[in-house]
């Protein structure tokens, strides 16, 4: 049923600087880790997953660039918000930026995947703790999922993309779905 629609599936990856957004993009695109530098502006790549083709935009997370995120939101089917699970000092800021994103008018129909990245670092907060830190239970306007991941190994990334693919299929295929997902996946 998605024939002809696959090319229009658009995902935007956002999050604070150094959360691992670009590493995630290129792990999804190439299946390997590439050397990255802080993104100034954006990167875009085509990602294939479950017979679907996604146009995935990775946006720079520096404070000076966050005000430009909204220019990429139009027609986004999904938002991936990446959190550095080991950066407890910036969790309040991450929460604020997350809520700025989900409240944006252009994203009212987009599903939200929160990737709790850097799970390979000892002392990182797990997905349940990150869900509490970000007050995900207060997001009632979007379907959402949190997924633990490690951008360097790829662990958890495919599972997150599978969830997004399911949401896109449900929306475009006319299936009835719950208003949101409240699962913490470890």
The residues that bridge with 53 in the sheet, in sequence order, are: 48
Using only C-alpha atoms, the chain has a radius of gyration, in whole angstroms, of: 15
Binding site per annotation, positions:
15-22, 39, 61, 117-120
State pTM to two decimals: 0.89
Rounded Cα gap, residues 158 and 115, in angstroms: 11
Residues belonging to the chain: 186
pLDDT given for residue 37 in this prediction: 78
Looking at residue 39, its pLDDT comes to: 83
The pLDDT of residue 181 is above 50? no
pLDDT at 32: 83
> What residues contact residue 31 under an 8 Å CB cut-off, 6+ apart?
154
Binding residues for Mg(2+): 22, 39
Q: Annotated catalytic sites, by residue? A: 62
* pLDDT above 70 (res 63): yes
Taking the CB of residue 65, how many other CB atoms lie within 10 A of it? 17
User: What Cα–Cα distance (Å) separates residue 43 from each residue in 8, 63, 127, 150, 158?
Assistant: 17, 17, 26, 20, 20
35 within domain boundaries: yes
Residue 60 has pLDDT above 80, yes or no: yes
Q: Is the confidence at residue 84, as pLDDT, over 70?
A: yes
pLDDT at residue 30, as a whole number:
92
Return the CATH number at 47.
3.40.50.300
CA 82 to chain centre: 6
How many domains is the chain partitioned into structurally? Answer: 1
Helix (H) or strand (E) holding 153: none
- The answer to the question of residue 44 being in a domain is yes
Is the pLDDT reported for residue 180 higher than 70?
no
pLDDT tens digits, one per residue of 23-57: 999 999 998 888 777 787 788 999 999 989 999 99
What pLDDT is stored for residue 5 in this prediction? 44
The answer to whether residue 116 sits within a structural domain is: yes
The band of 62, judged by pLDDT with boundaries at 50, 70 and 90, is confident
76 within a domain of the structure (yes/no):
yes
Question: Which residues span the domain enclosing 12?
Answer: 6-185
pLDDT confidence tier of residue 175, bands split at 50, 70 and 90: low
Span 151-155, average pLDDT: 96
Residue 1 is assigned to a structural domain of this protein: no
* Beta strand extents in 35-151 (DSSP E only): 42-49, 52-59, 78-84, 111-117, 144-148
Q: For residue 178, is pLDDT > 80?
A: no
Annotation: binding site for GTP: 15-22, 61, 117-120
């Amino acid at each position: 049923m998605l024939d002809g629609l696959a090319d229009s599936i658009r995902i935007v990856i956002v999050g604070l600087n150094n959360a691992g957004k670009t590493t995630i993009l290129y792990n999804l695109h190439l299946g390997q880790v590439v050397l990255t530098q802080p993104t100034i502006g954006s990167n875009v790549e085509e990602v294939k997953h479950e017979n679907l083709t996604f146009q995935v935009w990775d946006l720079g997370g520096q404070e000076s660039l966050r005000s430009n995120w909204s220019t990429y939101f139009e027609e986004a089917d999904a938002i991936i918000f990446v959190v550095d699970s080991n950066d407890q000092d910036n969790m309040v800021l991450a929460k604020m930026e997350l809520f700025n994103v989900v409240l944006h008018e252009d994203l009212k129909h987009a599903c939200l995947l929160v990737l709790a990245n850097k799970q390979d670092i000892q002392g990182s907060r797990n997905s349940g703790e990150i869900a509490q830190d970000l007050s995900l239970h207060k997001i009632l306007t979007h379907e959402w999922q949190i997924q633990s991941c490690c951008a360097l190994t790829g662990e958890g990334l495919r599972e997150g993309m599978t969830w997004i693919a399911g949401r896109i299929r449900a929306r475009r295929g006319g299936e009835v779905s719950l208003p949101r997902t409240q699962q913490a996946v470890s």
